[in-house]
Amino acid sequence: MIWGMQNLIFLHIAKVGGMTFRAIIARQFPKDAVFLTYGGTEKDIRALAGLPEEHRQRIQCVSGHMPFGVHEYFSQPFGYIAFIRNPADRILSEYYYARGSARSGHYAHTKMATTPLRQYVAEGGVSVSNFQTRVLAGQVASGITRWDTLPMPGDALARAKKNIHDHFAFVGVVDRFDESLLVCKKKFGWDDVRYILANVTKERPRRETTAIDVMQIIQKNNTQDAELYAYANALLDESIREYGPSFTRDLKLFRLRNKMFRTFEHPLKIKYKHIRYRVAKACGFGGKENIVA
């Protein structure tokens, strides 16, 4: 992987802790230097490509459900960041999250809400078939739920690993999120990486309680994602070794500070902003849009 890259593209793969990390990475750059998108559709890509060159040159961070390759729209160098997740956990999380948010009108969410899990994974759509490998290999965008079946390129995993080696500044692991954040903090010289979990899938059955035949289908259709997940863990282990002997101590301290942030500081901030809004409204200032954060 490349190191020391200051301009970063966060490749937000669906259901890999992206909304949580998105908030963290956006804090590390000036607001006018961040390009945020959620969709990652062709319309979003055209919006990025259509920006005036002088505007694109000011961008230091791109974050969203983007396909690999968006660095080609910039004249300045960029490094990628992505998180990888156990493929079964990612698929189950996406499925049950979509079912819980079907009222949003999102086509894929509505379809998943009416499709049994066994049928969903058996149909072999892109989203349930080595999706993370496809994203890092550059075959599909990182957040669009795909129901169609696309042939898996024979060299997809090798291509994904090569892209990591050539273009990625960091690859994290979702179930080692705190460890990944601590490495990012030191590697990129970031300041505050405390966080509140966002978009957590509620009432999601665990892998251990999912039907055996469903798990077998998921495992069969995601062998390359499983290997990519193991590869990402190995890379993180290497990054931790490079971090130095203080890692264990720093990790304990970070977790303590983050626990205090979640328990005390963050709730107080929310309450304070709510009080300011109520006062401003009572004074006739018009509402939230007139309150300086």
Residue 65 token pair:
């459900």
In which element (H, E) is residue 186 found? helix 177-188
Same domain, 161 and 53: yes
147 in any annotated domain:
yes
Same domain, 201 and 271: no
2 in any annotated domain:
no
Cβ neighbours of residue 232 closer than 8 Å, sequence gap 6 or more? 84, 171, 172, 173
Same domain, 73 and 19: yes
Asked if 63 and 10 count as a contact pair (C-beta separation under 8 A), the reply is: yes
Same domain, 258 and 136: no
Same domain, 187 and 268: no
Same domain, 167 and 70: yes
Give the whole-angstrom CA distance, residue 75 versus residue 90: 34
pTM for the model: 0.84
1 in any annotated domain:
no
What is 121-142 written as a DSSP string? HHTT-GGGSSHHHHHHHTSS-S
Same domain, 62 and 17: yes
Sign of CA dihedral 224, 230, 236, 242: negative
164 in any annotated domain:
yes
Give the whole-angstrom CA distance, residue 34 versus residue 26: 7
Which among 174, 83, 88 is positioned nearest to 130, based on CA atoms? 88
Same domain, 97 and 202: yes
Give the whole-angstrom CA distance, residue 201 versus residue 98: 9
Tens-level pLDDT at each residue, the chain (293 residues): 665 568 999 999 988 888 899 999 999 999 999 998 876 667 778 888 888 999 999 999 999 888 888 899 899 999 999 999 999 999 999 888 888 765 555 666 777 778 899 999 998 888 899 999 999 998 876 655 555 667 888 899 999 999 999 999 999 999 999 999 999 999 999 989 999 887 666 666 677 778 999 999 999 999 999 999 999 999 999 999 999 999 999 999 999 999 988 887 655 554 434 434 444 455 554 443 333 33
Q: Which residues pair with 35 in a beta bridge?
A: 62
